[in-house]
Amino acid sequence: MSLHTLSIAELASGLQQKQFSATELARHFIARGEAHNGLLNAYITLTPERALADAALADARLARGEGGVLTGIPLAQKDIFCTDGIRTTCASRMLDGFVAPYDATVVERLAAAGTVLLGKTNMDEFAMGSSNETSYYGPVRNPWDTARVPGGSSGGSAAVVAARLAPVATGTDTGGSIRQPAALTGISGIKPTYGRVSRYGMIAFASSLDQAGIMAPSAEDCALLLEVMSGFDPRDSTSVDVPVPAYSKQLTPSVQGLRIGVVREFFEGGLDAANAALVKAALQVYVDQGAVLVDVSCPNMGLSVPTYYVVAPAECSSNLSRFDGVRFGHRCEQPKDLMDLYKRSRGEGFGAEVKRRIMTGTYLLSAGYYDAYYLKAQQVRQLISREFAAAFTQADVLVGPTSPTPAFPLGNQGDDPITMYLNDIYTIGANLAGLPAMSIPCGFLQGLPLGLQLIGPHFTESRLLATAHAYQQATDWHRRVPAAYV
């Protein structure tokens, strides 16, 4: 039995039945992390001592018969979530030495459930990127082909799960940062409805788009974690006070009569024929199970990327103004005056892509341009949201590819920011409209995994997870592990 290829439910059952202890489980994953992180660079910080302390607590709880399903389950946290007493970098030089003085709500909830923290995962700097190449700590390598990127921004979380260095990892998704890396590494990942999971203690990039979620091999694994992470938090002013269903109890495998909306615009234009064929083959699995395919259209979907690249940089420029070199974060040497302190601390602390987005946002919000860009983008955002809402009158879930291509080689996308931005062409729409969306593995192109994207109306995480689960009952793509990590 390989502990690292068991599902969360199987791990929970093994822990409850004393087949192995939480400490044994933690040691197994600590050893895997230490063995493989040198090549993959998927963790920024490994926390073996914390993991063993968490595991000892979990074992004590289990011995008292007090443990829940997640008690003793190891996990990795994206390094965007503040962890009390543990370095939290957001993959930026700006926060290289930052030790968070408090836990993010996501961290707090998962710890309270008895999970074991293995480490903090690598990511694009401040979650700005789609390849994990903007990290101050260097790129993450894709376990399926280490000359290729894992996607981003949650590339480290994707890689640790794909290589089974952790059973599950948290992620965040502002424009596709959970779904695209999940697709490129052959795992499942869900971005819930905006407001579903608290953003408290999650370092902000674009506050009206950012949402935390979870990445794991299967939809069932995701369901078990998401139901614990989700819920109202008064410390996040955009947290929504809507009850959280027990997602893992609602994984009915039947999709009989489910109306699956095939979004026409997702299959037009640049989509590679082989990628489209994989998605169509996945849809056939649903048809075979009794689902009904419906042709739907969101005519202005193509404007989602330019809309995003107004809204996200605008919010980024505002959020990242907190990094001033005074209270925390990088401070330059020998500032000659306060202006010099601000400018050099920020100039040295931020990487190229982060500076690019701060400047883009600063320009778009500056006097004389606000109406033409930001206000206009918010109007287009409304339009795209309405088109989604209209599509949901015809369909229960919408589907399409997650990513235009499989994982690309490291360093391949050069200096043209637009090429990189277009990686998120299929994922950004859900963020603009605040919709829950998920990616599940649906096959391989030349040995590299690709994902099927499912998008639902607000607060239909149960439906998305059940729809994904039904597919995973009929297929085994989500169980595939790269040969070097079996």
Active site residues: 78, 153, 177
Question: Is residue 474 within the footprint of other proteins (CB under 8 A)?
Answer: no
Q: Name residues contacting other proteins, limited to 164-203 (CB under 8 A).
A: 193-195
Choose which of 49, 415, 446, 483 interacts with other proteins (CB under 8 A).
415
**In the Cβ-directed half-sphere of 94, how many Cα atoms lie within 13 Å?**
29
Encoded one letter per residue, x for contact with other proteins by CB under 8 A and - for no contact, window 307-326 reads: x-xx------x---x--xxx
Q: With contact defined as beta carbons under 8 Å apart, do 69 and 56 qualify?
A: no
Q: Name residues contacting other proteins, limited to 427-456 (CB under 8 A).
A: 431-434
Encoded one letter per residue, x for contact with other proteins by CB under 8 A and - for no contact, window 324-343 reads: xxxxxx-x---xxxxxxxxx
Q: Give least dist CB 147 to other proteins, A.
A: 26
Strands 211-216 vs 169-173: parallel, antiparallel or unpaired: antiparallel
Choose which of 234, 409, 411, 447 interacts with other proteins (CB under 8 A).
234
Choose which of 61, 68, 306, 445 interacts with other proteins (CB under 8 A).
306
Q: Give least dist CB 273 to other proteins, A.
A: 26
Taking the C-alpha atoms of residue 253 and residue 85, their distance in angstroms, rounded to an integer, is 42
Strands 74-78 vs 116-121: parallel, antiparallel or unpaired: parallel
Choose which of 35, 63, 277, 359 interacts with other proteins (CB under 8 A).
359
Taking the C-alpha atoms of residue 131 and residue 148, their distance in angstroms, rounded to an integer, is 9
Choose which of 300, 405, 473, 475 interacts with other proteins (CB under 8 A).
300
Q: Name residues contacting other proteins, limited to 247-276 (CB under 8 A).
A: none
- DSSP 8-class letter at 65: T
Q: Name residues contacting other proteins, limited to 56-115 (CB under 8 A).
A: 97-99, 101
**In the Cβ-directed half-sphere of 99, how many Cα atoms lie within 13 Å?**
3
Strands 211-216 vs 188-191: parallel, antiparallel or unpaired: antiparallel
Q: Give least dist CB 230 to other proteins, A.
A: 15
Query: In this structure, how many other beta carbons lie within 10 angstroms of the beta carbon of residue 240?
Result: 18
Encoded one letter per residue, x for contact with other proteins by CB under 8 A and - for no contact, window 16-55 reads: ----------------------------------------
Taking the C-alpha atoms of residue 253 and residue 152, their distance in angstroms, rounded to an integer, is 30
Tokens of 297: 């259209």
Question: Is residue 370 within the footprint of other proteins (CB under 8 A)?
Answer: no
Q: Give least dist CB 309 to other proteins, A.
A: 5
153 prior amide bond cis, ω within 30? yes
Q: Give least dist CB 478 to other proteins, A.
A: 29
What element of type H or E holds 222?
A: helix 219-229
Tokens of 304: 């989602």
Taking the C-alpha atoms of residue 284 and residue 69, their distance in angstroms, rounded to an integer, is 34
Q: Give least dist CB 420 to other proteins, A.
A: 11
CB of 13 or CB of 237, closer to other proteins: 237
Taking the C-alpha atoms of residue 267 and residue 263, their distance in angstroms, rounded to an integer, is 7
CB of 16 or CB of 318, closer to other proteins: 318
Question: Is residue 378 within the footprint of other proteins (CB under 8 A)?
Answer: yes
